Structure formats: C-alpha cells, structure tokens
C-alpha cells in the first residue's frame, strides 16, 4: 500500500534541528553534495555555454570571439541568405537540405521500421538472425557508414559500375556527385543506419500489446489488415512519438554523415545547418554567424523536445 508520502519518500528533514550535530547534518546533505558536481557541470557547460553562444551570436566575432554587442546582424545576414536562392546561399542550401533530409529521413525510417516490425511479427522462423542484421548499422559510426556508402554509391566503383559489368550498361546513378541529388544519398545512408533501430522500437511495441485485444478483434471478425490498421497501429502511437523524437533529434544533429559521405558535396551542396555552423565558425572565420546558426538549431530542438520532456516528467511525478 502506498500513500501520497511513500511515493515521494523524503528522507532528509524539512527543517534543521538545533540538536543535529555537524556530522549528522553533513550526512543529511550528502545526497545533494554527491549530485552537486554533475549538476554544476550541466549548468555551466550546457546552459552557461548556450548563453555564451547566444551572446556571441549578437556580436561581431570573426576569427576570435569579440564581446562587444553589435546587435542582431548575424541573424539579419542569415535571414537575408534565406531568400538568396540564385545562386543559392550556403544557408539556403543548408536549411532546404534540412527540410528534405529531415522529412524523408523521418518518414522513411518510420514507414520502413514499422513495415519491417510487422513483417517480423508474423511468427518468422529466423527472427533471431534477421533482427540483428537489420539493427547492426546503428552500432557503426557515421564516419564508417559514410565511407561504406561513399564507395557503394560511387559511379566509377560501386553499384553503377557493378551493374554495368553485369550488362545493364544504361544504368546511371551518380547522385553522390550531383549537387541537386547529393542530399538524397545522405537520406539513403541515414535510413540505412537508423531504420533497423526504429524497427526494434516498433517490434518492442508490438510485443507489448495485450494479446487478448488481438484475440477479441479476431473474434470480432477483423482481417489481418484491418487488425493492424484499426487496432495495432493506433495502439503504437506512443512509439511513433518516441521514434519521431529520436529521429528528429538525430536529423538535426547529423553532421558526421554529410562530412564522411559527401565531404559536403559539390560546392557545399550537401550541407546541413550543423555543417554550416561548423564551417562558418571554424573554417570561414564568421564566428557570429556560426553561433547564430547554432542558436537557430537549438531553438528548433527546443521546440520539439521541451514539450515532450515536460509532459513525460509531469506524468512521471504524478
């Protein structure tokens, strides 16, 4: 049995007692003392640094940080670049790529992950072999993934050449060298890496569904297709949400894959905002602009994550 109190055990006293010795008071504060360094580190190196970055984005920092506030010029420039489509500015390319990559990466991973999970959930012999095969790319670094796919998609070496050798000489696949299509190769490699994990999430969700609900639906005469469409998939809603959060956050953070797979693509045509930030900050000596782009990335994540975390933590503490 539990009361309101036992679910929020409070072992440290609410008020310091005069009789308590220094030693026992130290004992009481011990948990907080233990937690303090980690919390302090987080406050300084995460939140402090975020504020620092925001600050820098309002300065005129170039190669080195300068601490004189010069207003939102960096943002002004980013805003102007947003409409610089001919020729496309690096920023325009980055955010358009983000849109394309983010949408396709998330949508395909979700669809493929769910599809594979449903297939695997059909009492498959050899599930124990197939599951790890689908999932192992998640263990690889983006750099390795990039190297592998770079080779595989290279027109002179990989898939195209292989098909030519097999006699399909008209086959042409040079997206990785094409500035208009290079971002789609990032989608392919990204999906390859993450979809197996999304599959595992959905599979866990499917296995968690009460078998009696399924039996009831079958007795009600639902076909397998109806069963999934009307009962199972709606029940997987929380998994969709979790998977979406994971993917969105992976997508916005994606940096390594673009570097390793495309080296930024022809003329930076494969850049994502993360690459833009890195290049402007460390290579092009436009620190303020780089910081401003980092702030925009952060805000995007905040808009997605904070409501999610808030609702999760609230639920938990109830």
> Alpha helices of 83-181 — where are they, by DSSP H?
90-120, 127-135, 142-153, 159-165
Residue written as token pair 């948990």: 31
Among 16, 111, 216, 313, binds other proteins (CB under 8 A): 313
The beta-carbon contacts of 226-230 under 8 Å, at least 24 apart in sequence, are: 228/118
Pick 43 or 107: Cβ nearer other proteins: 43
Measure the CA–CA gap between 170 and 175, rounded to whole angstroms.
Answer: 15
Among 22, 87, 122, 303, binds other proteins (CB under 8 A): 122
**Footprint on residues 207-246 left by other proteins (CB under 8 A):** 207-211, 214, 218, 224, 227-228, 232, 242-243, 245-246
Among 179, 192, 230, 284, binds other proteins (CB under 8 A): 192
**Footprint on residues 48-67 left by other proteins (CB under 8 A):** 48-50, 52-53, 56, 65
Considering the rule CB under 8 A, would residue 16 count as an interface residue with other proteins? no
Q: Is 59 helix (H, G, I), strand (E, B) or coil?
A: strand
Minimum Å gap between C-beta 317 and other proteins is: 5
Backbone angles phi, psi at 146, to 5 degrees: -60, -45
Among 79, 83, 103, 282, binds other proteins (CB under 8 A): 282
Structure tokens at 138: 């998640």
Nearest Cα to Cα of residue 193 among 129, 258, 245? 258
* Cα separation values, 218 from 48, 122, 213, 215, Å: 56, 15, 9, 5
Cβ atoms 198, 243 nearer than 8 A: yes
Considering the rule CB under 8 A, would residue 167 count as an interface residue with other proteins? no
Among 130, 173, 179, 233, binds other proteins (CB under 8 A): 130
| Candidate ranges 7-15, 75-83, 84-92, 94-102; the one touching other proteins (CB under 8 A) | 7-15
Structure tokens at 186: 């990032």
Nearest Cα to Cα of residue 302 among 108, 50, 98, 57? 50
Pick 86 or 225: Cβ nearer other proteins: 225
Considering the rule CB under 8 A, would residue 202 count as an interface residue with other proteins? no
Pick 29 or 83: Cβ nearer other proteins: 29
Minimum Å gap between C-beta 33 and other proteins is: 9
**Footprint on residues 24-43 left by other proteins (CB under 8 A):** 24, 27, 30-32, 34-35, 37-39, 41-43
């Amino acid at each position: 049995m539990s009361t309101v109190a036992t679910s929020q055990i409070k072992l440290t006293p609410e008020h310091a007692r005069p009789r308590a010795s220094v030693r026992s008071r130290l004992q009481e504060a011990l948990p907080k003392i233990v937690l303090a360094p980690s919390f302090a580190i987080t406050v300084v190196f995460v939140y402090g640094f975020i504020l620092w970055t925001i600050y820098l984005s309002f300065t005129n920092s170039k190669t080195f940080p300068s601490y004189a506030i010069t207003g939102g010029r960096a943002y002004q420039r980013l805003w102007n670049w947003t409409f610089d489509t001919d020729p496309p500015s690096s920023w325009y390319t980055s955010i358009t790529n983000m849109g394309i990559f983010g949408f396709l990466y998330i949508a395909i991973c979700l669809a493929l992950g769910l599809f594979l999970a449903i297939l695997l959930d059909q009492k498959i012999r050899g599930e124990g072999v197939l599951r790890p095969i689908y999932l192992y790319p998640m263990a690889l670094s983006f750099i390795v993934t990039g190297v592998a796919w770079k080779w595989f998609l290279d027109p002179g070496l990989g898939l195209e050449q292989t098909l030519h050798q097999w006699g399909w000489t008209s086959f042409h696949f040079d997206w990785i060298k094409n500035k208009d299509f290079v971002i789609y190769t990032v989608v392919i490699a990204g999906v390859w890496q993450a979809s197996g994990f999304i599959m595992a999430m959905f599979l866990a969700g499917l296995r968690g569904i009460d078998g009696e609900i399924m039996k009831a639906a079958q007795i009600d005469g639902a076909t397998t297709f109806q069963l999934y469409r009307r009962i199972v998939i709606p029940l997987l809603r929380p998994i969709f949400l979790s998977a979406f959060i994971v993917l969105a956050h992976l997508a916005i953070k994606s940096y390594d894959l673009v570097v390793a797979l495309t080296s930024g693509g022809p003329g930076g045509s494969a850049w994502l905002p993360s690459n833009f930030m890195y290049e402007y900050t460390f290579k092009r000596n436009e620190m303020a602009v780089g910081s401003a782009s980092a702030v925009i990335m952060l805000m995007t994540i905040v808009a997605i994550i904070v409501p999610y975390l808030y609702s999760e933590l609230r639920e938990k503490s109830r």
